[in-house]
Structure 1
Amino acid sequence: MTPDLSTRAADARELMDDPDADLRMLERTYARFPLINALVSRWRSVYRRDIRPRARRGPIRLLDVGAGGGDVSRALAAWARRDRLEVSVTALDADPRAVRWANGRGGRVEYRCARTDDLVGAGERFDVVVSNHLLHHLEADELPALLHDTIRLTADDGLVLHRDIARSRFAYRAFAAGTWPFSRNVLADSFIRDDGLTSIRRSYTAEEIAGLVPDGWQVRGQAPARLELRWEAWDARP
């Protein structure tokens, strides 16, 4: 049965966010993220559209905020290496469990356990700042802080991209149907299916998040069931 998706389920909680979550299931979840993100998140097209053109002009630094197990960070670094481009990738997450697990996966990525305000305080700057499936995890007061910090972390001609799920009945039904055949094999003993459905319930629609973001941000809805917050320095700064 499809739940009511007319409003955001802000009080729903994902199992993997529990500090006491089963570590074996959590690590199995991290291990399955590359498959899920390859199917639904479309970072290869983002790399081609936004990251590769910048890197062709010279070396760049890229920050992945809320990187979790780091699969998106490793993918971006690997695509840049194949194109013989200098992209220094930092994967940032405040959860030490994620950073410990990701550190064992290498991929020429720097993994850091910290928050965005820690990097702001240290004066860090990046040419591109991205996040994947982070926005729906945030509490109401955390979203403005994230947007503020990621702007402050960008270089003078920098780019910020926050990409997430767009809540819809289609997204919920498609994810439920698509993951059901794999719930007892590939996705077994992980939080992927349960948390994925909760993620959709917690996610914003493009219209909802457009009413929350400050001036200077572009909100783009993309098929199927995706949204993107985009901030570019040359467009937004006076």
Structure 2
Amino acid sequence: MSGGWTARAEHLPEVMDDPRCDPVGLERTYAAFDTVNRVVSGWRPVYTRDLRPWLIRPGGATLLDIGCGGGDVARHLARWARRDGLKLRITAIDADARAIAYATEQPPEPGVTYRQALSGDLRTEGQHFDLVISNHLLHHLSGPELTALLADTEALCTGLAVHGDIERHPLAYAVFRAATARTFPGSFIHVDGLRSIRRSYTHAELAAVAPPGWAARRQFPFRNLLTWHSGEPKANPSGARMSNRPDRGDGRA
């Protein structure tokens, strides 16, 4: 990388993080996340490869989605699990009351509960989850906030944690800029998406800040996964039903 790409633009503000931002634009941004995340976030292969083995157990699994935004990732995970005949109970949290208000206004998804809270709040309460995830959260955090999030994650998670984020790259920036220049009108997707890319880690940077026990993994295209696990999922129990529908691996519901 060269020029402005040599360092994270971690102090570059995102419009949606401003509590005074236009509420209509913010709502349109939350609504657009469903489409954007299907295309760029890659949760379908993460679900199939990493999360689903933990669900194939008697009683299924619990999952915590930290910084859930409008809740679209949580809803898709719940749908995929249900279509596979598996039980998944999701708690989706966000510190921003506006995000939780939007999420709770959407058609209810069985197995998904929303709550305004921080990961530290749940840790203080002594809660535990089989799985802990976040989507596009890491680049929003300062160094101390990242350290605190990962410590909370270890305390909350009894199985596997996957924090997924963008990998900073000039090609990712160029593609996103071209793809969103005239789409999602009235939202913050274009400007905030570009700023998110500038704020994000390269793979090497994320690996460098990962604490012991955490692993930084790459996922195509331009994705970083920061993972941690406390053990391995149990083998497929007798009678667990799996869907015969082939995995698309494209992030669609």
- Residue in 1 aligned with 2:115? 112
- Residue in 2 aligned with 1:195? 192
Cα RMSD, aligned residues only: 1.3
* Shift in alpha-carbon separation, 1:68–1:3, aligned structure 2, 3 A: farther
d(CA) in 1 for partners of 2:168 and 2:24? Answer: 29
Q: Does 1:36 align with 2:39?
A: no
Question: 3-state SS of the aligned residue for 2:209?
Answer: coil
What pairs with 1:136-175 in structure 2 (closer than 5 Å)? Answer: 136-155=139-158, 158-175=159-176
d(CA) in 2 for partners of 1:141 and 1:171? Answer: 27
**TM-score with structure 1 setting the length:** 0.93
- Name the aligned partner's letter for residue 227 of structure 1: N
- Residue in 1 aligned with 2:62? 61
d(CA) in 2 for partners of 1:53 and 1:130? Answer: 15
d(CA) in 2 for partners of 1:222 and 1:61? Answer: 24
- Name the aligned partner's letter for residue 48 of structure 2: R
Unaligned runs of 5+ in 1: none
What pairs with 1:200-219 in structure 2 (closer than 5 Å)? Answer: 200-219=197-216
d(CA) in 2 for partners of 1:151 and 1:89? Answer: 18
Question: 3-state SS of the aligned residue for 2:178?
Answer: helix
- Residue in 1 aligned with 2:47? 47
Give 1:3 deviation, angstroms. 7.3
- Residue in 2 aligned with 1:221? 218
Give 1:234 deviation, angstroms. 2.4
Q: Does 1:234 align with 2:235?
A: no
Question: 3-state SS of the aligned residue for 1:211?
Answer: helix
d(CA) in 2 for partners of 1:34 and 1:209? Answer: 26
Question: 3-state SS of the aligned residue for 1:69?
Answer: coil
1:28-75 deviation digits (Å, cap 9, x = unpaired)? 100010100000011111111122221111310001000000000000
1:125-144 deviation digits (Å, cap 9, x = unpaired)? 00000000000011121000
- Name the aligned partner's letter for residue 198 of structure 2: R
- Name the aligned partner's letter for residue 115 of structure 1: L
Structure 1 vs Structure 2: percent identity of aligned residues? 50
Q: Which runs of 4+ in 1 moved over 2 A?
A: none
